[in-house]
Structure formats: C-alpha cells, structure tokens
Amino acid sequence: MSDCLFCKILKGEISSAKVYEDEYVYAFNDISPVAPFHVIVIPKIHIGSTDEINGENSVYIAKVFEAVAKIAKTEGLEKGYRVVNNCGEEGGQTVGHIHFHLLARRNLQWPPG
C-alpha cells in the first residue's frame, strides 16, 4: 500500500529504530512511547487490521507472536509485558497497517482505559 505509513517504514522511506527483523516481521521503537519499553511489531505484508486476518495471511500473525517471544528474551522482559492490538476507530487504531504494541518496564494497569 503506497500511502500506508508502516509500509513506508518497511520500505525504508520513513526511518525507524529497528529492534528486530526476520523474513515475516519487523519491530521498531514507537515514536511516542507510553511505557519505558514500547515496541511496535508488524507483519511484512499489508494487512489493514485484525478484521483482515484470514487463512491466507495468518502465518504472519503467528510469526509476529514468535517474534514477541524472541524480543522478550533478547530484551530481558522477564518481569512481564503486554501485547496490545487496537482495531478500528473505537479500538483506538490510528495507523491502518495491523500492528502489535509490546509494552513493558512499568506496572501496566488492568483493565485498560
């Protein structure tokens, strides 16, 4: 998607601070962190939101969570972390390329606001 912010990050047209990368997944520091550790994990194909996950592309979502487990080990998040996916307007999604917030290094409240 030519006008997608995170596709532009994947193509290197917008710079980002890489935390992890493999064949399926890219992860980078959020530009506006809400926790001391705030990484955005995205699939390397354009999927607009959770609504668009299907049998053809779900391997990318599985790979996102494999990447989360690897990042948690590499970054020493043994005290715990939270993975957040915002979907749609009321879900708080502002970028139309599915992404997963990996939040850590502070006490995360439950339920969220």
Which parts of this chain interact with ligand 5GP (CB under 6 A)? 5, 14, 16, 28-32, 40, 86, 92-95
Task: Report how far residue 107's alpha carbon sits from residue 76's, in angstroms, rounded to the nearest whole number.
Answer: 16
Give 55 or 111: the residue with its C-beta nearer to ligand 5GP: 111
How many angstroms separate the CA atoms of 29 and 16, rounded?
7
Q: Cα dihedral sign for 49, 55, 57, 59?
A: positive
Strand partners, 41: 27, 100
Query: Which residue among 38, 46, 97, 99 is the active-site one?
Result: 99
**Partner in contact with 97, chosen from Zn ion, ligand 5GP, none, beta carbon below 5 to 8 Å by kind:** Zn ion
97 catalytic, yes or no? no
- Residue 32 binds which entry of ligand 5GP, Zn ion, none, with Cβ cut-offs from 5 to 8 Å by kind? ligand 5GP
Q: Out of ligand 5GP, Zn ion, none, which partner does residue 28 contact, by CB within 5 to 8 A per kind?
A: ligand 5GP
The strand order across the sheet containing 18-21 reads 18-21, 25-29, 37-43, 100-104, 81-84
Return the active site residues. Answer: 99
